[in-house]
Structure 1
Amino acid sequence: MNPNVTVINPTITEDKESKIRVAAYCRVSTNSEDQQNSLITQMRYYENFLSDSETERLVSVYADEGITGTQMDKREEFQRMLKDCRRGKIDRIIVKSISRFARNTKDCLSVLRELKELGISVMFEKENIDTANITDEIMVTVMGGLAQEESASISNNVRWGIRSKMKNGTVKFHSAPLGYDLYEGNLIINKREAEIVKSIYKMFLSGMGYDSICRELNESKVIKNDKGTKWLSASVRYILTNEKYIGDSLWQKNYNTSMPYRKVRNKGELEKYYINNTHEAIITREEFEKVQELIEQRKHPNMNLINNYPLSKKIYCGKCGSLFKRRFKNEKSYWICREHYYNAENCRTKPILEQVFYTAFMTMYNKLKANYSVIFTPMLTQLQELKNKKYGSNKQYIEINKEIAQLKEQTHVLARLKTKGFLDVSKYIEQVTEINAKIEKLNRELRKIVRCDDEDEMIEQIKEIASIIENGTDLMTEFDDVMFESLIEKIIVKNQTEFEFNLIGGLKFTENSIDNCT
């Protein structure tokens, strides 16, 4: 008996599907017009390069511009390309050079290993390296090192250019403090915000401290920013010490370290450049100078006015809950529980020397400074993960994020159309501006969803604490009242030698002191 054989014809042709799906990655380091032109040139090059290929077809051109190339998590297009790789949309990546792909050896190898596991090869044109033909990672390591050196060289050139502009007074602003709007690199007064700045100066000159001003602003529901975060002592202090408000500019307060790049406060390592009258002032020079004098006075307890000491209304008794008050005896300053002061039988907490609190605070600060990365980095990561899990089930939150992603994809499509010459520049700008306005509106809706939650406010406050400590002195050897007011909400006296420091954002740290003589 002859078997019956039925032939089932293929429903998918091999034509297009047999071609290798290629992605091209481009990047420029800044968002200047010249660099944008360079980016468009790169995009056109790759589109033309594969247009006539019989074995390869271009899936997409991924292009980052105007952002740092040293941190891959900040390159949106790069991350989008990696996601498409993981989704099986790409077989091969072409990039001009290793320095365009990754700027340190660790990142370069990490990504290449992942891509290799996914079966995706990478071709570096400048170095003529194809990972499909490489079995030994030593070559990539060497090239990654060269790329890191190249990146450092480029960064140094960029820094030199910026510092030259600082020196001759031609550098443009890249951000605006409260009270100003940024327009084409210039600071323009924002009338509503300028009134807030003026009121803060008036309150401080009237005798109010950082904490009192914060309470007044928060109770009056004065809007700090579009995130809806509360006013903190550090924010008030920043406004009261910022020369921008008298129309001047001090450049290079901070600087970036060599790789790994990290922004740190300039404590004299590099020159600073002070330029007068760079923009319109909000505060008079006379007011500003008075405020600086008053800040300096408050750094020295003996020069302070009554009830204007750093520890005022900060210390609470852990046994009876009463506030501590300041007393001066035998040429020494003490803090004593009010309940104990009026009736020692009601509370057994004895007076504590003022210096003991100062010493305990300095010890706590130095511990936090020394263990900064161990404490704050994982803490913020965990809080962010908890927040993401929480909103992962919020349908409105998810839908808004999807809509934002779709709008961003539209901007990518418009960029490709412009590059191919199908869309003129004016129309491109018009449509992208409209899309960006929609994205900003959706972001505001997201912030409204998040704003009402304590977690978001806590994250913002802890970020501010982390920033204060990161930029603070490496070793505190003398009590710093500004740092104290920026960090400490209150102190709970557990006993004569054990204090619980309550930081803004809900953090609590216990510190012991043996230096307590009454």
Structure 2
Amino acid sequence: MATVTIIKPTIDTSMIRKIRCAAYCRVSSSSDDQLHSYSTQVKYYSEMFNDSDTEELVDIYADKGITGTSEEKRDEFKRLINDCKRGKIDRIYTKSISRFARNTKDCLKNLRQLKSLGISVFFEKESIDTSDVSDEMMITLLGGLAQEESTSISQNMRWSIRKRMANGTFEQGVAQYGYTKVDGKIVIDQETSKIVKDIFKWYLEGIGATSIARILNDKGILTGMNEIAWTHRMVIYVLTNEKYAGDTLIQKTFTTEVLPVKRHINRGERDKYYISNTHEPIISRVDFDKVQEILSEQKEKYYVAAKEKHPLGSMIKCSYCNKTYRRKNSNGKYYWSCITHDSQADLCPAHMILEKRIYDAFIKLCNKLIIHSGDILIPLRHELKELYSTKYSSNSVVMDLRRDISEINEQKHVISRLRTKGFLDEKKYNEQLLVLENKHSKIKHELAKLSNSEREDDTLEQLDTLIDCFENRSIMTEFDKEIFGIIVEKIIVKENDLEFYLISGLRFSETI
């Protein structure tokens, strides 16, 4: 007969590790009532685990007064997920699905990630435990309802904001650089307003935006973000901001109405509201308008390609014979055909291309650059600038000469505009231009002896143009001949592809 031996337990049950629990709380507003709700939730979870024999509270994660439509702005929620990845938590408690997430996609993504880490979530209001696999369908349904609720609330808030914009009662949350808020009203800041005045004064004197940014950085003047990082774009932003003339343009940007919410520049998709004399101006109306006229003319000259011929004319080249393509009309449709193939088809096998296919290929290329501008163009510009800076950093003479040429070129453009508008008489203009031309010629001659950096400066300038064309732009649906004229140098037709040669030396191929 078998003998049974009882082995007594050697571990005290009181020493068994408890389940490490975390609580996540969130309120959707910063109002007093909601802050009280937040405090109540924190107190509730703190007391919940006091007498538990199996569970212990590790930490309470609570986001206050932050939107629930996206997890990007929920710092405590992200801290919770990171602690879960580090193995600090076994189980999460939260009041409801709407507290956990109001975006179904993010909700399920995070729940599945937590489940893969062996961490369960318990939603008290719905009595759903993610350790029960059958509950995932219920989570999907309730998460969708929470998303619809959040969308409805967001739409109501947007309607309220638009009404206040239309009747002039909408108040901006943050004062612009040069101003400050006192008792809810925008008033001039005596220190930073001096910088704004200097920027407008320098620009009207013929100093370009890039040079102004350099002057501000050299002086150690901080931007609105308390950084010494003034750039060409930041100076242009100041020069074009209507608030410095005492006015306010509302709804320059707008948010999408579906989740996840995204912010876009208002290029005409929504109403804008221009309100005059909303606060004390820093810049006189006369000076502000003068600056806008100069900027407008500079933009027109730089960006508009004044081509009377067809935008594709002389732009398309054959990869077989290197000859130009020309436009042809066949049965009401336009095609582009190689000149050699048209005259002697046996000498060139290139086929005709429907004009619409060329347009479609360009639109496809532009939309890729619009979507991936931050991943391609901006990092490329940064890397090239660092490379060129490193290349000449040991040669202070080259660096100084390059800065001088850039400043002179900007001054020449500005005095030309001032003369055109009558702000500078012909005699004074010729005197200043002669001085600048002599300086430019001497510096360029010196620079040519030391480096070939002129081509590198052109590359950076052209990359800036590409970034301006595609950054924060809506998806393109129609062929834009203005953008095409600015960025495309030529098109090479290959077997089944079009190779677009863009300014700055970039090349992209699209299938046709």
Which SS does the other structure have where 2:503 is aligned? strand
Match of 1:128 in 2: 127
Cα deviation, residue 467, structure 1:
10
Structure 1 stretch displaced more, 258-267 or 158-167: 158-167
Match of 1:477 in 2: 480
- Structure-2 change in CA distance of 1:45 and 1:311 (3 Å): closer
Structure 1 stretch displaced more, 241-250 or 368-377: 368-377
2-structure distance, mates of 1:498, 1:104? 40
Kindly provide the amino acid, as one letter, of the partner of residue 293 in structure 1. E
Match of 2:148 in 1: 149
Cα deviation, residue 162, structure 1:
2.7
**Which aligned pairs between 1:443-482 and structure 2 lie closer than 5 A?**
465=467, 469-471=471-473, 474=476, 477=480, 479=482
Q: Across the two proteins, how many residue pairs are aligned to each other?
A: 364
2-structure distance, mates of 1:192, 1:146? 51
Q: Which 4+ residue blocks in structure 1 deviate beyond 6 angstroms?
A: 362-368, 380-383, 497-500
Match of 1:114 in 2: 113
1-structure distance, mates of 2:286, 2:468? 33
Kindly provide the amino acid, as one letter, of the partner of residue 278 in structure 1. T
Q: Does 1:310 align with 2:307?
A: no
2-structure distance, mates of 1:128, 1:270? 43
Which SS does the other structure have where 1:22 is aligned? strand
2-structure distance, mates of 1:226, 1:468? 28
**Which aligned pairs between 1:268-347 and structure 2 lie closer than 5 A?**
268-300=268-300, 309-310=301-302
- Structure-2 change in CA distance of 1:367 and 1:134 (3 Å): closer
Match of 2:367 in 1: 370
Kindly provide the amino acid, as one letter, of the partner of residue 23 in structure 1. A
Cα deviation, residue 179, structure 1:
1.8
2-structure distance, mates of 1:296, 1:62? 51
Match of 1:35 in 2: 34
2-structure distance, mates of 1:148, 1:284? 48
Structure 1 stretch displaced more, 213-222 or 277-286: 213-222
Kindly provide the amino acid, as one letter, of the partner of residue 130 in structure 2. T
Kindly provide the amino acid, as one letter, of the partner of residue 197 in structure 1. V
- Structure-2 change in CA distance of 1:75 and 1:371 (3 Å): same
Cα deviation, residue 77, structure 1:
0.8
2-structure distance, mates of 1:479, 1:41? 59
Kindly provide the amino acid, as one letter, of the partner of residue 128 in structure 1. S
2-structure distance, mates of 1:128, 1:254? 41
Cα deviation, residue 85, structure 1:
1.8
Conservation of the 8 A alpha-carbon contact between 2:489 and 2:503:
yes
Match of 1:91 in 2: 90
Conservation of the 8 A alpha-carbon contact between 2:245 and 2:284:
yes
Per-residue displacement from partner, 1:124-164 (whole Å, max 9, x unpaired)?
Answer: 22322221223353222222221221221121122233333
Cα deviation, residue 364, structure 1:
12
Match of 2:163 in 1: 164
- Structure-2 change in CA distance of 1:169 and 1:189 (3 Å): same
Q: Does 1:198 align with 2:197?
A: yes
2-structure distance, mates of 1:121, 1:498? 52
Conservation of the 8 A alpha-carbon contact between 2:365 and 2:508:
no
Conservation of the 8 A alpha-carbon contact between 1:368 and 1:375:
no
Which SS does the other structure have where 1:174 is aligned? coil
Q: Does 1:101 align with 2:100?
A: yes
2-structure distance, mates of 1:107, 1:204? 48
**Which aligned pairs between 1:43-54 and structure 2 lie closer than 5 A?**
43-54=42-53
Which SS does the other structure have where 1:123 is aligned? strand
Q: Does 1:226 align with 2:222?
A: no
Kindly provide the amino acid, as one letter, of the partner of residue 262 in structure 1. K
- Structure-2 change in CA distance of 1:8 and 1:109 (3 Å): closer
Q: What are the ranges of 5 or more consecutive residues in structure 1 without an aligned counterpart? A: 1-5, 301-308, 313-327, 331-361, 387-457, 503-507, 513-518
- Structure-2 change in CA distance of 1:311 and 1:81 (3 Å): closer
Cα deviation, residue 368, structure 1:
6.8
Per-residue displacement from partner, 1:231-251 (whole Å, max 9, x unpaired)?
Answer: 12x322221221211222222
Structure 1 stretch displaced more, 177-186 or 188-197: 177-186
Q: Does 1:266 align with 2:272?
A: no
Kindly provide the amino acid, as one letter, of the partner of residue 150 in structure 2. S
Conservation of the 8 A alpha-carbon contact between 1:173 and 1:182:
no
- Structure-2 change in CA distance of 1:237 and 1:74 (3 Å): same
Match of 1:450 in 2: none
Per-residue displacement from partner, 1:313-352 (whole Å, max 9, x unpaired)?
Answer: xxxxxxxxxxxxxxx9x9xxxxxxxxxxxxxxxxxxxxxx
2-structure distance, mates of 1:244, 1:364? 41
Match of 1:305 in 2: none
Kindly provide the amino acid, as one letter, of the partner of residue 269 in structure 1. E
1-structure distance, mates of 2:362, 2:31? 42
- Taking every aligned residue pair, what percent have the same amino acid on both sides? 44
Per-residue displacement from partner, 1:10-54 (whole Å, max 9, x unpaired)?
Answer: 4xx543755433211111234344433332222223223444444
Query: Normalising by the residue count of structure 2, what TM-score does the alignment of the two structures yield?
Result: 0.59
1-structure distance, mates of 2:160, 2:179? 26
- Structure-2 change in CA distance of 1:311 and 1:107 (3 Å): closer
Q: Does 1:509 align with 2:501?
A: no
Conservation of the 8 A alpha-carbon contact between 2:23 and 2:45:
yes
Which SS does the other structure have where 2:191 is aligned? helix
Which SS does the other structure have where 1:135 is aligned? helix
Which SS does the other structure have where 1:61 is aligned? strand
Conservation of the 8 A alpha-carbon contact between 2:188 and 2:280:
yes
Per-residue displacement from partner, 1:387-422 (whole Å, max 9, x unpaired)?
Answer: xxxxxxxxxxxxxxxxxxxxxxxxxxxxxxxxxxxx
Cα deviation, residue 65, structure 1:
1.9
Conservation of the 8 A alpha-carbon contact between 1:217 and 1:231:
no
2-structure distance, mates of 1:372, 1:239? 27
Structure 1 stretch displaced more, 186-195 or 253-262: 186-195
Conservation of the 8 A alpha-carbon contact between 2:92 and 2:119:
yes
Query: Normalising by the residue count of structure 1, what TM-score does the alignment of the two structures yield?
Result: 0.58
2-structure distance, mates of 1:44, 1:500? 61
- Structure-2 change in CA distance of 1:376 and 1:511 (3 Å): closer
1-structure distance, mates of 2:183, 2:77? 28
- Structure-2 change in CA distance of 1:263 and 1:218 (3 Å): same
Kindly provide the amino acid, as one letter, of the partner of residue 96 in structure 1. K
Cα deviation, residue 112, structure 1:
0.9
Which SS does the other structure have where 2:92 is aligned? strand
Match of 1:140 in 2: 139
- Structure-2 change in CA distance of 1:43 and 1:117 (3 Å): same
